[in-house]
Amino acid sequence: MCRLEPKMIQPSFILKDQVALITGAAGALGTVACSTFAQAGAHIVLVGRDKDKLIQKAALLESTGAKTMCISADVTSSSSVKSMLDQTLSHFGRIDIVLNNAGTTSPKSLLEITDEDWYSIINTSATGGFFVSRAVAPYMIRAKYGRIISMGSILSVRGMANRSAYAAAKAALANFNRSLAFELGPYGITVNTLGPTVIVTDLNREMILKQPELYESVLKRTALGRLGVPQDIAGPLLFLASPAASFVTGQMLFVDGGYTAT
């Protein structure tokens, strides 16, 4: 029977006592995600390869009252991802939100990209997102609740010179999420992708300065006339992770200053 009048849920951006797992938590975008979810009341599982960096970031979160856990894991390994999930459930007993944020890139032309470059970029973003989503899905299905969010890009739907592998990985991840939304929707689980523009961080600031013509072309197509900063993703991330987005799934939410509107 078709439910024409579902139970109404009061819009809320509160994540009190929910457990949010963030891969790539040591990076600039991962740091913003951890802080944003923690401020909304969530407990944070920081996942990455450099546990020392994770511990430093966790200490800052805990100083604000958040409960945290740090896990060293490789998202390109299904066994490592399974161990990550087992540790999370053993420690917190639940998992409500997952952000597939781990990713890498290599600004090379087609003729310069090595086999290793290609597999590293594809496996970290696309395969990693698949491994993590597949691992958490059974628990979320049993709980009849979950938020799976993946970090896409404007290059999920656009092309750019010297970013072909990265664009392929982000496009694959976004379309994987669209399909997954249909599989998991009946269980109250939403699956969405965030699509930021170029976000200026310590990792790419020098690259931006060295390739001004490339980034000028991005600026020319951006309605707001600037590149992004990490804090620009905070509000959209909180929205997708929160009860306020309970009827939003299978979507690509661009945070790009209008870039994809052109």
Q: Where are the domains of the chain?
A: 19-200+230-255
Distance CA 144, CA 142 (A): 5
The DSSP result for 25-74, as a single string, is TTSHHHHHHHHHHHHTT-EEEEEES-HHHHHHHHHHHHTTT--EEEEE--
Measured distance CA(28)–CA(201) in Å, rounded: 7
Dist. CA 248–CA 239, nearest whole Å: 10
Residue 13: per-residue pLDDT: 94
Please write the tens of the pLDDT for every residue from 10-36: 678 999 999 999 999 999 999 999 999
Domain 19-200+230-255 has CATH 3.40.190.10: no
Average pLDDT, the chain: 92
Q: What DSSP string describes 198-235? A: -B--TTTHHHHHH-HHHHHHHHHT-TT-S-B-GGGGHH
pLDDT band at 5 (very low <50, low <70, confident <90, very high): low
Whether 156 contacts 166, CB under 8 Å: no
Question: For the whole prediction, is pTM greater than 0.85?
Answer: yes
- Residue 212: per-residue pLDDT: 81
Q: Which of 119, 139, 145, 166 is catalytic?
A: 166
- What DSSP character marks residue 189? E
Residue indicated by tokens 């970029």: 121
Active-site residue, 259 included? no
